[in-house]
Amino acid sequence: MIYTNNTEYQIYYYQTSDTKHTPVLEYIQNLSFKEKVKTVNYINLLQRFKGYIGEPYSRYICSGIRELRINFSHNNHRIFYIIVEERKIILLHAFLKKTRKTPPKEIKRALNNFNDYQLYKSYIEYEET
């Protein structure tokens, strides 16, 4: 398939291979209305800039995983994501950051989701956002 410059990147929610659970979508659905609106706006911005927004909005974590940083009042929401060749941005994991440093357990969850995605990506049907 040939991509032209005006081919848009698409946002997808990661699904677990076993239960088809979409953790990021469920996280967003549980936010307050204003937090939800801001989060969706940041995700749209992420799409428009092909997954590469500079700090303080996004930063590289490890192993191809980046984090989208959404600060709302005293709540610091984080969404880990990857960018794949097919012009897809996969939202892997989301959490409410309560400490100064990103907890290693949250990074590990994102890595586990990333590994699951890599193993089963050809079997999972993703719906666009």
99-120 pLDDT per residue, tens: 888 889 999 999 998 888 888 7
Measure the CA–CA gap between 103 and 99, rounded to whole angstroms: 7
β-pairing, 58-62 vs 65-72, is antiparallel
Encode burial over 58-77: b for 16+ CB neighbours within 10 A, e otherwise.
Answer: beebeeebbbbbbeeeeeeb
Give the number of other Cβ atoms within 10 Å of residue 17's Cβ. 15
- Say if 5 falls within a structural domain: no
Q: What is the largest CA-CA distance in the chain?
A: 45
What pLDDT score does 87 carry?
Answer: 84
Domain of residue 17, CATH code: 3.30.2310
Whole-model pTM: value is 0.84
**Total domain count for the chain?**
1
The dihedral built from the CA positions of residue 36, 26, 74 and 61, taken in this order, carries a sign that is negative
Domain encompassing residue 37 = 10-120
User: Would residue 64 count as lying in a domain?
Assistant: yes
Structural domain contains residue 32: yes
- Structure token digits, residue 66: 């980046």
Residue 40 placed within a domain = yes
- Identify the CA nearest to 112 among candidates 23, 3, 10, 5: 23
Confirm whether 125 is domain-assigned: no
Domain annotation covers residue 93: yes
Which portions of the chain are predicted below pLDDT 70? Answer: 1-7, 121-129
